Amino acid sequence: MSTAKGPLKGRAARLGRLMPSGPSSAARTPFVLLVVVLLGGGLISLLLLNSALNQGSFQLNELKDRTTELTDEEQALQRDVDDYAAPDALERRARELGMVPGGSPAFLGPDGKVLGEPSRAAAPKPTPTPSRKPTQAPAALNPVEMEGTYPLPEAQRDRFMAKVSIGYPSAEAELQMLDVHGSVSPLDDLQPVAHAHDILKLIEAVRAVHV
Report pLDDT digits (tens) over 140-190: 455 555 555 666 666 666 666 666 677 788 888 888 888 877 777 777 777
Average pLDDT, the chain: 75
Looking at the domain assignment, is residue 55 inside a domain? yes
Say if 41 falls within a structural domain: yes
Bigger pLDDT: 128 vs 204 = 204
Q: Which of 123, 122, 118 is nearest to 104 (CA)?
A: 118
Whether 150 is in a domain gets the answer: no
Query: Looking at the domain assignment, is residue 199 inside a domain?
Result: no
The burial of 85, by beta-carbon neighbours within 10 Å (0-12 exposed, 13-18 middle, 19 or more buried), is given as exposed
Domain total in the chain: 1
pLDDT at 208 (0 to 100): 86
Q: Closest Cα to residue 105, out of 97, 114, 92, 113?
A: 114
Residue 1: band (very low, low, confident or very high) from pLDDT cuts 50, 70, 90: very low
- Is residue 38 domain-resident? yes
Q: Is the entire prediction scored with pTM above 0.75? A: no
Residue 39 in any domain: the answer is yes
- Model confidence at 193: pLDDT above 70: yes
pLDDT at position 84: 85
69 within domain boundaries:
yes
- Span 188-208, average pLDDT: 85
Could you list the residue range(s) of the whole structural domain that residue 70 is in? Answer: 31-100
Q: What phi and psi, each to the nearest 5 degrees, are found at residue 20? A: -65, 135
pLDDT of residue 58: 86
% of the chain at pLDDT higher than 90? 3
pLDDT score of 10: 64
Mean pLDDT of 13-32: 63
pLDDT of residue 2: 47
d(CA 44, CA 40): 6
Mean pLDDT of 88-94: 84
* Angle in degrees, CA 179, 182, 188, rounded to 5: 125
Q: Taking residues 16-43, what's their average pLDDT?
A: 72
> Residue 79 falls within a domain, yes or no?
yes
Of residues 153 and 79, more confidently modeled = 79
